Amino acid sequence: MASRDDIGSWLEGTPQGDGSGGRGDRLGLPRSGPGSLAPTGRRVLALLIDWLVASLVSLALFDYHPMATLAVFAVENISLVSTLGYTIGHRALGIVVRPEVSGIPTIGFLRGTIRSLLLCLVIPAAVWDADGRGLHDKAARTVIVRR
């Protein structure tokens, strides 16, 4: 059974880690540098790069059909995040998706699929908690950090 701590962190306002209120505090992440939470601007720009790549593939293969673009975007995210931990946009901007629990080496297919499908729904990605994590990352128990 899920507790409020698992799903309700966006309601609390500020993070409660060590009391200092920094982003990523409660996840045990550093405030800056490698391993710290990726800034919102980088994540949005990576998303735009990935959408552009999906649009170009859709244009080349399907004469640009919006649903084909979404399907290409989903397949790109599922396959790359599940295996490598990053998409083309993430790689270009120096960020990576990793499990929120340290010690697990990769995201894996199930987490990658959950994260990607919720990302394609848009709304879960647009609702953030105090750490700046979207509901798609919370559901998949992932975090986007700097490389």
Nearest to 96 by CA among 104, 106, 86: 86
pLDDT of residue 50: 97
pLDDT of residue 1: 53
Q: What are phi and psi of 22, to 5 degrees?
A: -80, 150
93: how many CB neighbours lie within 10 A of its CB? 21
pLDDT of residue 106: 81
pLDDT of residue 18: 47
The DSSP code sequence of 74-117 is: HHHHHHHHHHTS--HHHHHHTEEEEESSTT-----HHHHHHHHH
**Per-residue pLDDT tens digits of the chain, which is 147 residues long:** 555 555 555 444 444 444 456 677 778 888 888 988 999 899 999 999 999 999 999 999 999 899 999 999 999 999 999 999 999 999 999 999 999 887 777 889 999 999 999 999 998 888 988 888 899 999 999 999 999
Are the C-beta atoms of 107 and 98 separated by less than 8 Å?
Answer: yes
pLDDT of residue 130: 82
Are the C-beta atoms of 129 and 10 separated by less than 8 Å?
Answer: yes
CA pair distance 2, 129, nearest whole angstrom: 16
pLDDT of residue 124: 87
Q: Where are the domains of the chain?
A: 35-146
